[in-house]
Chains A and B, each alone.
Chain A
Amino acid sequence: MLYAILCYHDEDLVGSWTREQDAAVMQKLAVVQDKLAKQGRLGPVARLLPTTSATTLRKEDPPLVLDGPYAETKEQLLGFYVVDCKNLDEALDVARDLGAANPGGAYEIRPVGVLNPGSVSA
Chain B
Amino acid sequence: MTDTAWIDAALTSARPQAVGALLRYFRDLDTAEEAFQNACLRALKSWPQNGPPRDPAAWLIMAGRNVGIDEVRRHRKQEPLPEDEAISDLDDAEDALAERLDGSHYRDDILRLLFICCHPDLPGTQQIALALRIVSGLTVKQIARAFLVTEAAMEQRITRAKARVADAGVAFETPGAVERIERLSVVAAMIYLIFNEGYSASGDTFEARAPLCEEAIRLARLLLRLFQSEPEIMGLTALLLLQHARSAARFDADGALVLLDDQDRSLWNQKMIAEGLALIDKAMRHRQSGPYQVQAAIAALHARAEKPEDTDWTQIDLLYGALEIMQPSPVVTLNRAVAVSKVRGAQAALEMIEPLGPRLSNYFHFFGVRGAFLMQLDRNEEARVAFDRAIALANTSAEAAHIRMHLDRLMRDSAPPGTKASKK
Contact = CB atoms under 8 A, between A and B. Distances in A.
B275 A49 contact: yes
Interface stretch (B4-12, B348-356, B357-365): B4-12
B307 interface: no
B224 interface: yes
Given A12-B13, A16-B9, A53 B229 contact: no
Contact of A53 (B10, B218, B279): B279
Contacts of B1: 17, 21, 24-25, 103
Contact of B9 (A17, A53, A65): A17
Contacts of A39: none
A17 B5 CA distance: 9
Contacts of A50: 221, 275
Contact of B218 (A10, A16, A49, A74): A16
A104 B279 CA distance: 27
B282 A53 contact: yes
Interface string A1-35: 00000000011110111110100110000000000
A35 to B, nearest CB: 20
Contacts of B224: 52
B225 interface: yes
A13 B282 contact: no
A122 to B, nearest CB: 12
B55 A67 contact: no
Contacts of B275: 49-50, 53
A23 B3 CA distance: 16
Nearest to A11: B225
B414 interface: no
Contacts of B285: 65
Interface residues of A, number: 25
Interface of B is mostly: helix
Nearest to A19: B214
Contacts of A51: 225
Nearest to B15: A16
A13 B10 contact: yes
B255 interface: no
Given A52-B228, A74-B55, A21 B9 contact: yes
Interface in B171-228: 214, 218, 221-222, 224-225, 228
B229 A67 contact: yes
Nearest to A55: B282
Contacts of A21: 1, 5, 9
Nearest to B279: A53
A12 B228 contact: no
Contact of A13 (B9, B221, B234, B237): B9
Given A52-B279, A65-B285, A16 B237 contact: no
Contacts of B5: 21
A15 B221 contact: yes
B225 A12 contact: yes
B278 interface: yes
B278 A53 contact: yes
A23 B43 CA distance: 25
Contacts of A49: 271, 274-275, 278
Contacts of B228: 52, 67-68
Closest 8 CB pairs of A and B: A16-B13, A68-B228, A12-B13, A53-B278, A52-B224, A16-B12, A67-B228, A13-B13
16 contacts: A10-B13, A13-B9, A13-B13, A13-B56, A15-B221, A18-B9, A21-B1, A21-B5, A25-B1, A49-B275, A51-B225, A52-B237, A52-B279, A53-B279, A55-B282, A66-B229
